[in-house]
Amino acid sequence: MLSIQRPDENPCRPRHFKPPPCAPIVTDTAANLRIETCRTRMLVAAVLFVAIFAMLGLRLVEITLITGASAEPHLARAKPVLPPPERSDIVDRNGQLMATTLDSPNLYADPRQIIDARAATKALLTVLPDLDAKRVYADLTSDKKFVYLKQRLTPQQHYDVNRLGIPGLMFESGWRRYYPFGSLASHVVGYTDADNRGRTGVEHGLNSLLGEHQGPVQLSLDSRVQFVLRNELSKVVDQFSAKGAAGIIMDVHTGEVIAMVSLPDFDPNHPGAANENLPPGQVNQAFFNKVTLGDFELGSVFKIFNTAMALDSGTATLSSQFDARNNIHIGRFTISDYHGKHRMLSVPEIFMYSSNLGSARMAVAAGTWRQQDFLARLGILEKPANFQLDEIATPHYPHGKAWSEISTMTIAYGHGIAVSPLECVTGVAAIVNGGILHPATLLKVAPDVQPPGVRVISSKTSEQMRKLMRLVVEYGTAKFAAAPGYVVGGKTGTAEKNKHGHYEETTLVSTFIGAFPMTDPRYVILALVDEPHGDKQTHGFATAGWTVAPATSRIISRIAPLLGIAPVDESSPAVTQALQVESLAGKRIEDY
């Protein structure tokens, strides 16, 4: 350390003079350095603070003055209130709710908090009478921390239990699907599992759409029409002690399915209940949607396609005659008529009297390739694409070379080919609506939207087919299907079921497919009954003309006013002339 000369040690200074106090001049460089470091640090800290405060100040100005009005979003962040975990509702074409998600809490208890288990059990049983008193009491007196008392409370039960005010009873929120219409449209709407994922029906087929929170999904179904169809079909099932029934009603101009019923059905609110009384391992028929998943040999209903094919390809005209005198023996098969006329029959007669022989000869005259081509054009040989249900049957028919002449003959009258009623209806809709095939859909088509469609037959063939179908109801096999005023036309089909490789006469599938009003068809209806048994009222008959045709008549009379179809006078010249088959004009038509 250097010795420094202090100012007061100046020898020359006056004695009374004291220099002003001042910092000692530090010459120590290390000390200097340390002080410098401190100064710098303080400066940095000060700058930092100034910067932070300036930022805060600016932010304050910004929030209060600049974005004052839109400060709301910051508030929303304060405490989030979660919206319910939503799955879109399903509504019918009139906006009636068919499926919705509701909070349905589970009731649980913490037994340690229950003061008087006996009183609590008693009180609980007053509002939830279906609880087992013994079990509840045992649960409430156990030393567990958590016991479920009841799952899926209804809003009313929730309220009632809450009102009891018993400490120790608690609710666990749970979102569940409800189906207010119960089993009305169980196969169309379907149901969900415990995690609200669709299992069947539209719930499954449109699972992703339902999860998109885009408001309710509107189906093409009309719940009123659906009710009528289901109601009448269940009467048929009861009357003929049948195994089941299926029905579908479709708008011919849009392909919208207005109603779709398959019996037996189930309650989607309790899908498990349908399986409870079944022996283990057996699949419940109630979950089987006959309309889309059922493969049926629909029988004579196919004569609609066969006749349309022959007329459209020009291999037959309405005045062509075909031989229906003798049974056809081909290979080990014999083709015969149910009510044979044993004479030459014209095309309208073949159709009206449902002659298998005539139809087979008509198909042979047209040729196998025309038949294949025609059915393929109608989409009958493939699964319908883009349909909203995943429960879709693959049609069964002979592939490749297996489609022999015998196949051609049997397919002409609906044997040897099995399709779902849905496909059949889609095809028939195209045949009666003027020849445009619209794919079937379960979603409502807005009134101003032109649904996609392809022409499959000429409008002239379509008109001829309408006349022929009207003939069947007027004079043929489906007289009971007539609904006065609504000009019903259609075709019956009674097929024997192929069980274990051979046809059984006693197990039938009776089908009627019709359209109305025949002057300008708007709806196609199919009613099918599975294994009906004739009763006294029908003289033991279980054929379509006796089973489903009368039901169709009742259905049409009930739904036509709902669908806005005005009745007409069927005997008025305007109607009769429009549906007159020229080749039969002036002839006396023999009754079936």
Partner 1 sequence: MSRINAIFWLGLAMTACVVMFMINYAVQSLQDDLNKVRKQTIAEQLEIRVLHAEWSYLTQPERLAQLNQKFLSLTPIATKQLQQKIAQIPLRPIPDPPVEEIAAAAPIPALAAGRELPAANASEQGLDALFAQASGQAQPEPGAPPVTTIALDAPASPPALPVTTAALTTTIPARSASPQPTLPVTPALPVTPALPVTKVALTTMARPAAATARPGLDALFAQVASER
Q: Which two tokens stand for residue 222?
A: 């009309």
Residue of 300, 354, 359, 420 marked active site = 300
Q: Which two tokens stand for residue 372?
A: 């294949």
Minimum distance, C-beta of residue 510 to partner 1, in the bound complex (Å): 24
User: How far apart (Å, rounded) are the C-alpha atoms in residues 86 and 100?
Assistant: 9
Nearer to partner 1, 231 or 580 (CB): 231
β-strand 217-218 against 90-91: which pairing, if any?
A: parallel
Nearer to partner 1, 90 or 352 (CB): 90
Q: Are 512 and 424 in contact (CB under 8 A)?
A: no
Q: Are 535 and 543 in contact (CB under 8 A)?
A: no
Q: Looking at 104-220, which runs of residues are DSSP E strands?
A: 106-109, 147-150, 169-172, 175-178, 217-218
Strands of the sheet containing 257-263, edge to edge, are: 257-263, 244-251, 523-530, 502-516, 489-499
Nearer to partner 1, 196 or 408 (CB): 196
Minimum distance, C-beta of residue 211 to partner 1, in the bound complex (Å): 17
Spatial neighbors of 192 by CB under 8 A, at least 6 apart, are 87, 177, 198, 199, 203
Minimum distance, C-beta of residue 356 to partner 1, in the bound complex (Å): 35
Amino acid at 198: G
Nearer to partner 1, 180 or 540 (CB): 180
The question of whether 355 is a catalytic residue gets the answer: no
Question: What does DSSP assign to residue 20?
Answer: P
Minimum distance, C-beta of residue 274 to partner 1, in the bound complex (Å): 18
Nearer to partner 1, 224 or 253 (CB): 224
User: How far apart (Å, rounded) are the C-alpha atoms in residues 520 and 161?
Assistant: 58
CA angle in degrees (0–180, nearest 5) for 351-353-357: 75
CA angle in degrees (0–180, nearest 5) for 216-222-227: 125
Nearest by Cα to 486 from 578, 570, 385: 570
Nearer to partner 1, 540 or 561 (CB): 561
Nearer to partner 1, 79 or 339 (CB): 79
Minimum distance, C-beta of residue 174 to partner 1, in the bound complex (Å): 13
Nearest by Cα to 225 from 567, 515, 560: 560
Q: What are phi and psi for residue 472, nearest 5 degrees?
A: -60, -40
Minimum distance, C-beta of residue 228 to partner 1, in the bound complex (Å): 8
| Contact positions vs partner 1 (CB under 8 A) | 75, 78-79, 81, 83-84, 96-98, 100-103, 155, 178, 180-182, 184, 223-224, 226-228, 231, 484-486, 557-558, 561, 566-567
Conformation bin of residue 539: beta by default, left when phi > 0, alpha when psi is -120 to 50? left
Which residues are part of the catalytic machinery?
300
